[in-house]
């Protein structure tokens, strides 16, 4: 094993971009890169550590001894240390031993740009360069049509470690998931999956939201090529892939990004802006150019190298506000004296601009829980530039309403109708996510009141209402078959429940709702426009009934929806309709195959009786705790 040979992948232009915070393919330069130099095979290492006095690569090849392989600092004040180590081959474990000028501190760190890592609790990085041959050319060429804002978007949110496990309660591998999970998602007619973070993380109870390996797919389920296979297989089956991405905070684990070179390199040095009290983690320094380049490079990496179709950006609200989860005196206002984090806002806008500029047919989705305006509006008109935003208010109000016994619901109809006062201010995605079924919140099924029949009828009604409300949809795994217990990340979903008819009924309902949604343009063509929705009557709180229209580009595609939020069937219920002719029931959450009572409307002829502001009307039966759709 020879000493470090001077070598660089950086041009002067690379360095100027890096210093300016404009180098968005840093993963091609920093990190470990197997190659051949002067006829000798080995690995080039490069790491950013500006306060370092010295940086050594330690690993399997030198018995983890500091000083054996010291990197050379660049002359250009970039703070980058680099060099080629002959004989270091793919599969080799390594870290950086950094001796800092700052109080003579020494740190031993995993590589921030490592492409692969040891399985936790081990923490070393691994040199990696296997190639993967993608077979998703057809999907990539046509995905714009599947990912556009006027396409159906029904997302299955998945935690890979607990969707399904083997008989010994061990994780399924990426390869196993590429068979079982893909087949299931396709059978259930979801258009997309969203993976909770797949980047390397040390602590299982964080569910992946405390990252240490931003460029490294977690080794819990196998090698990086396994994740590529999983995404590739989903694509070949016509299913888009959204990855959760966490630029809001990172853990203080000794091998991670925190205090990286003996200084606050990645995190903001002011604890009021650099520490997250809720998650006891560190917050990136969004104003530091090199950190901005790191984060944007990381977002583009997953779109580029892993063919992701979108990024769902976690905890955006915590980035936007300097006083997020802080009391008076624990935060400092910005230069204008208010609470907006101007540097984070600027980063988010630049991130979204770069994503949409560089990749066709992708979406960024904000998990943002406040009323911050124009989150999903273009940067060019002052927005943050996201494609969509989670509709947290709708989720909260809807679940609060459904928790109530039906006898009290007439006093709370506003909980349901309020969403329509702001539904088109953003491009909203309706989320029933993992956060709603943990920490004592109960499963969706057990939020529902009543006896067993009513619980399941309420859940079917909830899903029907969700799919016919404007916006796109997201369901956390398990909800689609009425999981009864809260989600537990340490175990598989309760697949054994599918021996019971009611659970099979919920699963069949979701399968059919997904197919119905994709088949009917009125539910997606104008899903973010007020032109796609029209109330018929939102005021019948006495009967707890809502009636409304969903509209597409063509009038003949319009759908009439009626919801009954009580267990009392509404028979001979008159509804004003916009057109003459006949109305046919095309969907009911009360169908027998779903576990319902099986009530059914025959073909309804329009009567010339004015109602609800329309010149004609029909009489229908709305089943107990049911939703019916007419065409």
> From CA 303, how far away is CA 240, in angstroms rounded?
12
Domains of the chain, by residue range, sit at 12-109, 153-422+432-506, 530-630
Full DSSP string of 310-336: EEEETTHHHHHBTTTT--TTSS---TT
| 3-class SS letters over 36-71 | EECCEEEEEEEEECCCEEEEEEEEHHHCCCCCCCEC
* Options 267, 314, 397, 590, the catalytic residue: 314
pLDDT digits (tens, 9 = 90+) for 418-431: 999 999 999 999 99
Nearest CA among 87, 48, 91 for reference residue 69: 87
The answer to whether the CB of 536 falls within 8 A of the CB of 547 is yes
pLDDT digits (tens, 9 = 90+) for 548-584: 999 999 999 999 999 999 999 999 999 999 999 999 9
Task: Locate 296 and state its tokens.
Answer: 């944007």
pLDDT digits (tens, 9 = 90+) for 176-191: 999 999 999 999 999 9
Q: Is the dihedral of CA 537, 463, 398, 551 positive or negative?
A: negative
pLDDT digits (tens, 9 = 90+) for 292-318: 999 999 999 999 999 999 999 999 999
> What per-residue confidence (pLDDT) applies to 439?
87
Any bridge partners for residue 179, and if so which?
none
Q: For residue 530, what is the DSSP state? A: G
The answer to whether the CB of 397 falls within 8 A of the CB of 421 is no
Identical fold, 12-109 and 153-422+432-506:
no
Interval 10-35 mean pLDDT: 98
Architecture of domain 12-109: Sandwich (2.60)
> What per-residue confidence (pLDDT) applies to 2?
59
What kind of fold does domain 530-630 have according to CATH? Immunoglobulin-like (2.60.40)
Residue 1 has pLDDT above 60, yes or no: no
Q: For residue 613, what is the DSSP state? A: T
> What per-residue confidence (pLDDT) applies to 103?
87
DSSP E strands, 423-558 = 428-432, 472-476, 533-537, 545-550
Largest CA distance in the chain: 92
Interval 79-89 mean pLDDT: 97
Give percent above pLDDT 70 in the chain: 100
* Options 367, 368, 436, 480, the catalytic residue: 367
- Nearest-5° angle of CA 431, CA 436, CA 438? 145
> From CA 399, how far away is CA 410, in angstroms rounded?
15
> What per-residue confidence (pLDDT) applies to 26?
98
**Catalytic: 367?**
yes
Task: Work out the number of other CB atoms within 10 angstroms of the CB of residue 387.
Answer: 23
pLDDT digits (tens, 9 = 90+) for 483-531: 999 999 999 999 999 999 999 999 999 999 999 999 999 999 999 999 9
Task: Locate 317 and state its tokens.
Answer: 């609200």
Confidence of residue 440 (pLDDT cuts 50, 70, 90): confident
Any bridge partners for residue 193, and if so which?
156, 241
Claim: this prediction has a pTM higher than 0.95: yes
> What per-residue confidence (pLDDT) applies to 102?
86
Interval 213-224 mean pLDDT: 98
What kind of fold does domain 153-422+432-506 have according to CATH? TIM Barrel (3.20.20)
pLDDT digits (tens, 9 = 90+) for 336-360: 999 999 999 999 999 999 999 999 9
Q: Measure the CA dihedral 316/157/305/41, to 10°.
A: 110
**Catalytic: 480?**
no
Task: Give the chain's radius of gyration (CA, Å).
Answer: 27
């Amino acid at each position: 094993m020879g000493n470090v040979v001077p070598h660089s992948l950086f041009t002067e232009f690379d360095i100027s971009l890096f210093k300016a915070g404009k180098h968005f393919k840093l993963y091609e330069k920093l990190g470990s890169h197997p190659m051949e130099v002067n006829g000798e095979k080995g690995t080039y290492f490069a790491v950013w550590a500006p306060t370092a006095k010295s940086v050594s690569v330690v690993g399997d090849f030198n018995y983890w001894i500091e000083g054996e392989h010291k990197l050379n600092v660049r002359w250009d004040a970039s703070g980058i240390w680099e060099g080629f180590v002959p004989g270091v081959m793919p599969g080799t474990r390594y870290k950086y031993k950094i001796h800092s000028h700052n109080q003579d501190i020494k740190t031993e760190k995993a590589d921030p740009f490592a492409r692969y890592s040891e399985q936790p609790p081990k923490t070393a990085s691994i040199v990696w360069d296997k190639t993967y041959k993608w077979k998703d050319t057809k999907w990539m060429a046509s995905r714009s049509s599947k990912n556009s804002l006027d396409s159906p978007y029904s997302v299955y949110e998945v935690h890979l470690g607990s969707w399904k496990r083997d008989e010994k309660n061990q994780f399924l591998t990426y390869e196993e998931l590429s068979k079982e999970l893909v087949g299931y998602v396709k059978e259930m007619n979801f258009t997309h999956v969203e993976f909770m973070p797949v980047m390397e993380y040390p602590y299982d109870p964080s569910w992946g939201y405390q990252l240490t390996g931003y460029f490294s797919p977690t080794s819990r389920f196998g090698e990086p090529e396994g994740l590529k296979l999983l995404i590739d297989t989903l694509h070949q089956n016509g299913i888009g892939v959204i990855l959760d991405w966490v630029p809001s905070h990172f853990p203080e684990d000794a091998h991670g990004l925190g205090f990286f070179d003996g200084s606050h390199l990645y995190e903001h040095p002011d604890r009021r802006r650099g520490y997250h009290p809720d998650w006891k983690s560190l917050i990136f320094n969004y104003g530091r150019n090199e950190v901005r380049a790191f984060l944007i490079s990381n977002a583009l990496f997953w779109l580029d190298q892993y063919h992701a179709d979108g990024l769902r950006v976690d905890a955006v609200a915590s980035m936007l506000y300097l006083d997020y989860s802080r009391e008076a005196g624990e935060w400092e206002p910005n230069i204008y004296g208010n609470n907006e984090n101007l540097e984070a806002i600027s980063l988010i806008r630049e991130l979204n601009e770069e994503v949409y500029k560089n990749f066709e047919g992708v979406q960024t989705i904000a998990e943002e829980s406040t009323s911050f305006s124009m989150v999903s509006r273009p940067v060019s008109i002052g927005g943050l530039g996201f494609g969509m935003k989670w509709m947290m208010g709708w989720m909260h109000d809807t679940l609060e309403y459904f928790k109530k016994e039906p006898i009290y619901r007439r006093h709370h109809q506003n909980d349901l109708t309020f969403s329509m006062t702001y539904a088109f201010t953003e491009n909203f995605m309706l989320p029933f996510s993992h956060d709603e079924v943990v920490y004592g919140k109960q499963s969706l099924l057990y939020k529902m009141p009543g006896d067993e029949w009513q619980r399941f009828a309420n859940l079917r009604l909830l899903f029907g209402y969700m799919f016919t409300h404007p916006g796109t949809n997201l369901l956390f795994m398990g909800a689609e078959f009425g999981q009864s217990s809260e989600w537990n990340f340490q175990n598989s979903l309760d697949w054994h429940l599918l021996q019971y008819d009611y659970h099979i009924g919920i699963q069949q309902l979701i399968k059919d709702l997904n197919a119905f949604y994709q088949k009917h343009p009125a539910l997606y063509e104008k899903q973010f426009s007020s032109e796609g929705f029209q109330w018929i009557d939102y005021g019948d709180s006495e009967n707890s009934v809502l009636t409304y229209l969903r509209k597409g580009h063509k009038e003949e595609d319009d759908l009439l929806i009626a919801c009954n939020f009580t267990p009392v069937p509404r028979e001979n219920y008159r509804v004003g309709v916009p057109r003459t002719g006949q109305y046919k029931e095309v969907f009911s959450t009360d169908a027998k195959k779903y576990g319902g009572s099986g009530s059914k409307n025959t073909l309804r002829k329009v009567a010339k009786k004015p109602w609800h502001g329309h010149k004609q009307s029909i009489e229908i039966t709305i089943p107990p705790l049911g939703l019916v759709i007419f065409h």
